[in-house]
Structure 1
Amino acid sequence: MNMPTKTDDINTPDDAALARMTENMAKVEALGARLTQIMVGREGHQSSLDAPNQELFSKAAQAYWAEAVHNPAKLIENQVSFWSKSVTHFVEAQQALAKGKLQAPEDKTAKDRRFANPLWETHPYFNFVKRQYMINSEALSEAVNSVSDLEPREKQRLGYFSRQIIDMMSPTNFLATNPDALERAVATEGESLIKGLENLISDLEANNGEMIVRLADEKAFELGRNIATAPGKVVFRNRMFELIQYSPSTEKVHATPVVIFPPWINKFYILDLKEQNSLVKWIVDQGHTLFIVSWVNPDSSYRDVGMGDYIEDGFLTAIEEVKKITDQPQVNAVGYCIAGTTLSLTLSLLKQRGDTSVKSATLFTALTDFSDQGEFQPFLTDDFIDGIEAETKDKGILPSIIMARTFSFLRSNDLVYGPAIKSYMLGDTPPAFDLLYWNGDGANLPERMAMEYLRGLCQQNKLAEGGFDLLGHHLELGDIDVPICAVGCETDHIAPWKDSYRGVQMMGSKDKTFIMTQSGHIAGIVNPPSKGKYGHYTNPDMSLAHEDWLEGAEFHQGSWWPRWGKWLANHAGAQVDARIPGANGREILCDAPGTYVTRKANG
């Protein structure tokens, strides 16, 4: 009888498990070869869209060394601090190992959800790697902050790209320094790595070789079945959009119909994800005849479509069709994000034409004053916009994957690296999450429209500063005189509420309401009363600067929807019999959510 040795107590793989792992590693190598083929044949994009030009880093280096010459003590202090922390860290790790125990020294670093695995604190190897990363990150951030001889916008841009480097170099992003991934690989005998590579290859194939991490399980959703399910009919279609009229849920409705213009950067069904949080259903339940525009997902044949086409063949055509269908002289219009910006242009145009088709306008997270470009500033400099211009000239469109990648890297740990680790290292299937499914269902932008918007509105801020020339008119915010209700979101990083507020201040309307809701660009808008989650602020005095407006604002618990609902009802007219789609003889083209919404950006 053989006595067990000490090593028999260690949980090590047996020969059969090692054989299976070897077999799986061979599969990994085969998948690696397939991955190489994809990358070799990838379509690619303008390299200038990947990083700033060298001028930014050259200026930063010059400013850094100029600072060192004029204030060498500061540079020495930062360097000595970095050296001291690194050496102290090394000594502490050595002392812990010298005690003969496989343990890390006491770890007093701040909590970070990326390092949730206990091994980051207890295992000397992983703890050393983590703590040195934190020291390096702090040193790089301090170096950037110490640069003083740079334009504010250049320093903001330098700060953004340095944070991208810091986030990218996190040890959690590499297999050899990620204990979660290593433990999963051993526990599954390498199967997790195979699934991870399969997930990576699938994402690359879906995006023509571009690495866009799939955030949701696309197989879990089907438009019209378990997402975008509000009943309605497509009652009009042209080259720009399908018009959906929703079926009423009340016997009586307000006379004046409501038409929503969603952003064409994404799909309209963010407002109809599911019954519990559907703004579409809620508006219908309040007794309104509701229409929504479902924009076409353009391909290269739309390269010459500009902002003017979106207004003439989109906004104005939709408004006229809604008026015809309902036999009403006016509509209440809603614009979300870029569609709110364009609705503002449309209102100025209608004023100059003497057209009173719009009775009131509601703007969701809409920018009309782009003087403060916020977190998008790093992407609105000439080198990046020049790259976009070259990309659109080459392809006829600004591909949705370029925009998706840009938006994602504003929250890189949450929307890029975290999901990539779960999908590619751990081999997990993305979650069945409707919001993330919508987030990944992007749309392209036509070449002309994209450049008019980026150059004329975002970069040059023409609408707020002197006026924007379009369709033979000089459009200005002061022209807008219809009742306005604008909704901004407190933590919106795409359309900061203070900038939305400032643009509304410039409008000529005497009847203005501004609501600031808690949360961000999506969750702040899609906030049904049933959740009781986010509150909102109001202040009738819109003559104040934004900080003073907020200081004097009243906070209200719960969703802003009912407050807006009362405002909308005041502009919606008397009660009439509910309107059934097609009842007036209008041809029904298909059921909601229509056909345009199903077109994939890369399909």
Structure 2
Amino acid sequence: MVEHKAEVPSSSSQQLDQAVRAAWARRWMSVSPHSQLLAWTDWVCNLAISPGMRSDLARLALEEWAQLYHAALQPSGSQTHGIADRRFKDPAWRQWPFNLMSQAFLVQQHWWQAATQGVPGVEKHHERLAAFWAKQWLELLAPGNFLATNPVVLERTAREGGLNLLRGFQYLMDDVQALLAHRPPPGAEPFQPGRDVAATPGKVVLRNRLMELIQYAPTTGKVHPEPILIVPAWIMKYYILDLSPHNSLIKYLVDQGHTVFCISWKNPDAADRDLGMDEYIDLGWRAALDAVVSIVPGRRVHATGYCLGGTLLAIAAAAMARDGDERLASVSLFAAQTDFTEPGELALFIDQSQIGLLEAQMAQTGYLRADQMAGAFQMLRSYDLLWSRLVNQYLLGERAPVNDLMAWNADATRMPARMHAQYLRRLFLNNDLSENRYPVDGRAVLLGNLRVPIFCLGTVSDHIAPWQSVFKLHHQTPAEISFLLTSGGHNAGILSEPGHPRRSYQLLTRAAHGPDIGVQQWLEKAAWHDGSWWPAWLAWLKARSGAAVAPPRMGGKRGKPLEDAPGRYVHEH
């Protein structure tokens, strides 16, 4: 018998497949249609062999249509029964026929929500995908999105003689022109980095091909001896932490007597395609830490990471603990995941099929475009981030003024191809960090080796890094953990300057080697506090810092600083 060996595809075959997959990805706006097809096939096939559930869904449909029938018999202007929704809170939606339109939409949404959940045999990821895409299609067809079926828009059009539509059309043209010209959105002009935002005085004391390190100028006569080194996410510009002067976390720390350093990541282009997670550790974290300890010699460092930067910091700190490097005084992680078994709604866009298409696209461009990431985030909150804005701007003719957070959010960055693929596969898909398989310098790192005090922050309404997922750090290390849960979302929850209205938080510290604690137990024990969480973190840092000393020299003995903050990389588009 002749033995046949499997042939390895030739490079030309791989290139052909890659080109076709990249074209396919562009055709579907980087969202894998195969994932959707598999999800719907799984749902349909299992629903087909679940007659009991089909019977329940049929009964639910009859009940809801009977409810609509009774609502149709009510006098015009009466409150319809059924499900309430903030999209239809205006009294105009209680007038016939709009009351029936809104209620028909809501019962349809309720039915699909019931239909896509709990079908026996459907794989969990497929169930979530089916529910998500059913919701997206319904959101698209909501009566509030169209001129003829939105009574608020009709009333405004009649009252203004159509001027609202003319304004909306002009807003649409302005937005299209800005998009095509790769300019910031209209209204973002008053928020220029270095002038209006990212304006805390400082110097760039280090620059390499991946990042700039900024040292901020002291504003107090004496400072805490341990410097703070901040590692921001590189999915966006760093200045979410140095926004306007009144809500800049960096300025707040400097004014409270801390020596602060912050990394400003380069906005990668095609030449940076081969930068991976190892380079972000070596050229990013390690290079910055070496510079900080040379500028402030003999002092341990309060390391702080936000979002993706926090995940990188956790990996780097675990590697330092493994190698006996004791240069850290503490670790603070803001909305940063270290366990990806429940990574939140972003998991809807992360599976083998989806990552394969992204990798094919990134192989051609060398990076993931900012608008590809922005599109995913918009779909996660499609009503808040997309449809309500479209209605308000283009139909009602109302353009809300741009604030500093909105301007920062529009100042997005790209992601190097190699790094992004590694991040998605190693962390999201394989969960290598939590399961002690993530390699640094060829050897796995263990979060269980961490012993320095940890301040870990989650935000209540975070849909990118759910706080319950962030909380899982408790189960991964015996170190002392002070966990703080604050109101707000992934970005707005961080912007919590003292005096910010409607802010509150819970805080509880688990002692080093203390008993494990679950989410519900933590919620019951953690004390409630009104106001900003910033002073609580400041007090936590102060308790782990030494007596005040004279501020270090800008740039230390490394030579003359390169230029004023915020440097060059923050201006790259």
Q: TM-score, normalised to structure 1's length?
A: 0.84
- Report the AA paired with residue 301 of structure 1: A
Q: Tell me the secondary structure at the aligned position of residue 145 of structure 1.
A: coil
- Report the AA paired with residue 463 of structure 1: L
Instruction: Judge which range, 438-447 or 537-546, deviates more.
Output: 537-546
Gap change, CA 1:45 and 1:597, over 3 Å in 2: farther
- Please name the residue that 2:37 is paired with: 54
1:189, distance to aligned residue in structure 2 (A): 4.5
1:248, distance to aligned residue in structure 2 (A): 0.8
Gap change, CA 1:186 and 1:80, over 3 Å in 2: closer
Kept in 2: contact 1:527–1:533 (CA 8 A): no
CA distances 1:538-593 after superposition (whole Å, capped 9, x unpaired): 33336112221222222223322222212212333332212353575732333222
Matched, 1:394 2:364: yes
For residues 441-480 of structure 1, the aligned pairs below 5 Å read 441-480=411-450
Kept in 2: contact 1:215–1:419 (CA 8 A): no
Matched, 1:78 2:56: no
1:537, distance to aligned residue in structure 2 (A): 1.9
- Report the AA paired with residue 405 of structure 1: G
Kept in 2: contact 1:215–1:436 (CA 8 A): no
Kept in 1: contact 2:335–2:490 (CA 8 A): yes
Report the Cα distance in structure 2 between the residues aligned to 1:182 and 1:193, rounded to whole angstroms.
10
Q: Tell me the secondary structure at the aligned position of residue 276 of structure 1.
A: helix
Report the Cα distance in structure 2 between the residues aligned to 1:205 and 1:44, rounded to whole angstroms.
22
Matched, 1:599 2:572: yes
For residues 285-364 of structure 1, the aligned pairs below 5 Å read 285-364=255-334
Kept in 2: contact 1:216–1:433 (CA 8 A): no
Report the Cα distance in structure 2 between the residues aligned to 1:573 and 1:71, rounded to whole angstroms.
64
Matched, 1:539 2:508: yes
- Report the AA paired with residue 221 of structure 2: E
CA distances 1:165-208 after superposition (whole Å, capped 9, x unpaired): 22221111122222333344445544433443343344345445
Q: Pick from 259, 278, 286: which aligns with 2:229? A: 259
1:346, distance to aligned residue in structure 2 (A): 0.7
Report the Cα distance in structure 1 between the residues aligned to 2:280 and 2:27, rounded to whole angstroms.
26
Instruction: Judge which range, 460-469 or 536-545, deviates more.
Output: 536-545
Unaligned runs of 5+ in 1: 1-42, 97-102
- Please name the residue that 1:30 is paired with: none
Matched, 1:405 2:375: yes
- Report the AA paired with residue 67 of structure 1: S
1:328, distance to aligned residue in structure 2 (A): 3.6
Q: Tell me the secondary structure at the aligned position of residue 318 of structure 2.
A: helix
Asked which structure has the greater CA Rg, the reply is 1
1:241, distance to aligned residue in structure 2 (A): 1.1
Report the Cα distance in structure 2 between the residues aligned to 1:72 and 1:224, rounded to whole angstroms.
60
For residues 25-64 of structure 1, the aligned pairs below 5 Å read 44=26, 46-47=28-29, 49=31, 52-64=35-47
1:107, distance to aligned residue in structure 2 (A): 2.6
- Please name the residue that 1:15 is paired with: none
1:104, distance to aligned residue in structure 2 (A): 4.9
Q: TM-score, normalised to structure 2's length?
A: 0.88
Gap change, CA 1:75 and 1:414, over 3 Å in 2: closer
Q: Tell me the secondary structure at the aligned position of residue 236 of structure 1.
A: strand
For residues 70-469 of structure 1, the aligned pairs below 5 Å read 70=52, 73-90=55-72, 92=73, 103-104=76-77, 106-122=79-95, 124-145=96-117, 147-207=119-179, 217-469=187-439
Report the Cα distance in structure 2 between the residues aligned to 1:75 and 1:340, rounded to whole angstroms.
44
- Please name the residue that 1:522 is paired with: 491
1:106, distance to aligned residue in structure 2 (A): 4.5
Gap change, CA 1:341 and 1:290, over 3 Å in 2: same
Kept in 2: contact 1:200–1:424 (CA 8 A): yes
Unaligned runs of 5+ in 2: 1-24
Kept in 2: contact 1:539–1:550 (CA 8 A): no
- Percent identity between matched residues is 35
- Report the AA paired with residue 156 of structure 1: R
Kept in 2: contact 1:46–1:391 (CA 8 A): no
- Please name the residue that 2:561 is paired with: 588
Cα RMSD after superposing both structures: 2.6
Matched, 1:560 2:533: yes
Gap change, CA 1:196 and 1:314, over 3 Å in 2: same
For residues 495-510 of structure 1, the aligned pairs below 5 Å read 495-509=465-479
Instruction: Judge which range, 312-321 or 514-523, deviates more.
Output: 514-523
Q: Tell me the secondary structure at the aligned position of residue 574 of structure 1.
A: coil
Report the Cα distance in structure 1 between the residues aligned to 2:554 and 2:330, rounded to whole angstroms.
23
Q: Tell me the secondary structure at the aligned position of residue 115 of structure 2.
A: helix
Report the Cα distance in structure 2 between the residues aligned to 1:372 and 1:481, rounded to whole angstroms.
25
